[in-house]
Amino acid sequence: MLETTREPLDIAVGLAASGLFDTSMVHEASDGWSVAGGVAAEVVVDAESVRCTRLGVTREEPWFGEPLTVVQKFLADLPISDWTAYGWCAFELSHAIAGMPVQEGTLLHLVVPETELRLAGSRIFLRSLESAALTAAEDTVARIAAEPAPAEPLPVQVDLESGADDYRRRVASLVEEIRAGKLQKAILSREIPVETDIDFPASYRRGRLRNSPARSFLLDMGGLRCFGFSPETVVEVSADRRVSSQPLAGTRALTGDPHLDHKLREDLLSDPKELHEHAISVKVAVDELVGPCKPDSVAVVEYMSVKERGSVQHLASRVVGQMPEGASPWEAFAAVFPAVTASGVPKHAAYEAIHRHEGNRRGPYAGAVLKVAEDGAMDAALVLRSVYAQDGRTWLRAGAGIVGQSHADRELEETREKLRCVATSLLARTEDAGTTASGAVTVRTGSRH
């Protein structure tokens, strides 16, 4: 265990920016921060196969039906005690779970790290499978604590109007389909290119100081770099099989003007379109949890409260349930993924509408960041309010829930409101980019068991 006067955010960002790990993930949850570095074991799912690596040996096999059974078995057979896996899944994993055709690309990527840090207050719990990696992590934490914070890189300007007219047309077309009875709701998103090379750790730090997410994350895995400020969890499963889901639907801006924000909040709480959109999302969440949970245990414990998430405020509810003895967290995940608030109602019809109107693969957008433990606990947070970089391209993406009462201009404005959660935090990468802050640390050795 280490002791530090540094903020957990600064330690986590400093480690991510240090270059110590080729593969890394910072994960912030309600119980604190985690930093996962290196690869002890790995599972990658694509449209055709599951590739598993452990103890330096890789095997690949095709999956049939749905791939999560293979993933669950691989994790259950790991020769590592008290493991935790970190990673992400694409929106298109939902197609595989539903038995629909799947586009090329990664569907799921999980890593059991070689080195793991848990940060809670002034304490850092550090463990590693390799003594040299443990020493390197300790030294890096000490260096981060001793260095002054560098100046922030220059902010990046992003054109939030990119594709606006096309989005209006797509919204209008989808509204016609909904009014014709083809579906009730679908989330229609638009992509915004970022032309500047982004300093991901520095931008994540800046954005986290400006946002109030349910979860936050920063990852660099398999060629994908991503950070974000998740407004809601798709599913949370505790070690005793208690399940929780937090649907958010219905949005208004947060301006910083208390009077105007209160007025927007009251408008949100009285808008028939927003109330309808939220109500059907909660109903779907209840219906989905009845599957893996004991039916009498499923309940709505919070309904239509308002949660502030960075530059927006949302209607929020929470649905809970209890799974039976011996149930797997993957059963709950498969039942609720993807979040109804990022897909639609009914889900199959929404998948088809999204594919038809958006035209390109979503990938991590509207997927999930995952933290899964050997004891059966799982935390899956919705990937929204994020920035992505892969294959030489950087982009943002945001959507709005479209129902029969939707108006194209209002839905476009909602995407702008959501995009600002991240767009205003982007910082340009420089050759000496790094993020540290001053503080002090006393190092004591630890080990992974």
Domain that holds residue 402: 40-112+151-433
The CB density around residue 295, as the number of other CB atoms within 10 Å, is 9
Q: Tokens in use for 295?
A: 């039916």
Phi, psi (rounded to 5 degrees) for 232: -155, 160
Whether residue 11 lies inside any domain: the answer is no
**What confidence score (pLDDT) does residue 444 get?**
27
Which tokens belong to 204? 């994540």
44 in any annotated domain: yes
Task: Quote the distance between the C-alpha of residue 5 and its chain's center.
Answer: 28
pLDDT value at 46 more than 80:
yes
Cβ–Cβ < 8 Å for 366, 91 = yes
Q: How far apart, in Å, are the Cα atoms of 361 and each of 95, 262, 398, 399, 411?
A: 12, 37, 14, 14, 21
Catalytic residue among 232, 274, 331, 417: 232
Q: When comparing pLDDT for 146 and 131, which is higher?
A: 131
Q: Supply the DSSP string of 208-257, one letter for each residue.
A: HHH---SEEEEEEETTEEEEEEESSEEEEE-TT-EEEE--EEEEEE--S-
Query: Is residue 369 one of the residues assigned to a domain?
Result: yes
For the chain, the 3-state helix, strand and coil shares in percent, each to the nearest 5, are 30, 35, 35
Q: Are 21 and 221 in contact (CB under 8 A)?
A: no
In a domain, 373, yes or no: yes
CB 19 within 8 A of CB 39: no
439 lies in some domain: no
Confidence bin at 437 (pLDDT 50/70/90):
very low
The set of residues, in sequence order, having a beta carbon less than 8 Å from that of 147 and lying 6+ positions away, is 436, 438
In a domain, 235, yes or no: yes
Amino acid 441: pLDDT: 31
21 is a domain residue: no
Cα distance between residue 315 and residue 298, in whole Å: 20
- The residue-averaged pLDDT of 319-323 equals 97
Instruction: Report the chain's mean pLDDT, rounded to a whole number.
Output: 92
Residues listed for the chain:
449
> Is the whole-model pTM more than 0.85?
yes
Q: How confident is the model at residue 145 (pLDDT cuts 50, 70, 90)?
A: confident
| Average pLDDT of the residues in 135-158 | 88
**So what's the pLDDT on residue 149?**
73
Domains: count for the chain: 1
Q: Give the pLDDT mean for 140-167.
A: 89
Which CATH number fits the domain that encloses residue 180?
A: 3.60.120.10
User: Is 232 in the active site?
Assistant: yes
Residue 150 has pLDDT above 50, yes or no: yes
13: which 2 tokens? 């960002």
Does residue 58 fall inside a structural domain? yes
Structure confidence at residue 193 (pLDDT): 97
